[in-house]
Amino acid sequence: MADGLDIDAMIARFRERAAAVKQRPLPPVAGDERAQFVKQAQVDFRDYALLGDAVGAIEEGFLVLRVDLRPADQRS
């Protein structure tokens, strides 16, 4: 931990955010506004899920988040 940074807790918060996006109800909008809302929800989920799958560490003063993007059957 660097200066009180709890990397595991931070990553857990991103997992929680990804789950919250999946449960986010659609607002009563239609047309272009609805499409934009759905598109933003997809981007938010992807971003939060990626960071939620990370393994974090402090290396030489840098926060390093490693995300394995290989297909599941190619991971070690």
Between CA 48 and CA 40 the distance in angstroms is 12
The pTM is what?
0.79
Cα 46 from Cα 36, distance rounded (Å): 15
Tens digit of pLDDT per residue, the chain (76 long)?
A: 456 899 999 999 999 999 999 998 888 888 999 999 999 999 999 999 999 999 999 999 999 999 999 998 998 7
